[in-house]
Amino acid sequence: MHSKERTFFGMFPLVLAACALVTAGCDKTTSSEERINAGLKAAGVSKSTLGKVAGAVTIDGKTLEEAGFPSRDFVAILYDLKNPPSTKNPLLFTLINPDGTFEFSTYDKGDGVPVGSYMLLFDALKFSRAPKREYHEPDRLKDLYNDPDKSPFPIEVKEPGKTDYQFDLVLEGKEKGTPGPKAVAKIDLGG
Mean pLDDT of the chain: 81
Task: Report the percent of the chain where pLDDT is more than 70.
Answer: 77
Rounded distance, CA 153 to CA 23, Å? 38
What pLDDT score does 7 carry? 37
Residue 68 has pLDDT above 70, yes or no: yes
CATH code of the domain in which 141 resides: 2.60.40.1120
Query: Is residue 164 situated within a structural domain?
Result: yes
Task: Please tell me the pTM assigned to this model.
Answer: 0.77
pLDDT in tens, 108-163: 999 999 999 999 999 988 888 777 777 788 888 999 999 999 999 999 999 999 99
Query: Is residue 5 situated within a structural domain?
Result: no
Higher pLDDT, 36 or 81: 81
Q: Which of 12-21, 51-60, 105-114, 153-162 has the lowest mean pLDDT?
A: 12-21
What are the phi and psi torsion angles at 107 (to 5°)? -105, -30
Query: Is residue 173 situated within a structural domain?
Result: yes
Q: Which domain holds residue 59?
A: 48-188
Query: Is residue 148 situated within a structural domain?
Result: yes
Query: Is residue 121 situated within a structural domain?
Result: yes
What pLDDT score does 43 carry? 56
Q: Which of 23-27, 76-80, 159-163 has the lowest mean pLDDT?
A: 23-27
What pLDDT score does 129 carry? 77
Give the number of domains in the chain. 1
Query: Is residue 73 situated within a structural domain?
Result: yes
Query: Is residue 120 situated within a structural domain?
Result: yes
Query: Is residue 84 situated within a structural domain?
Result: yes
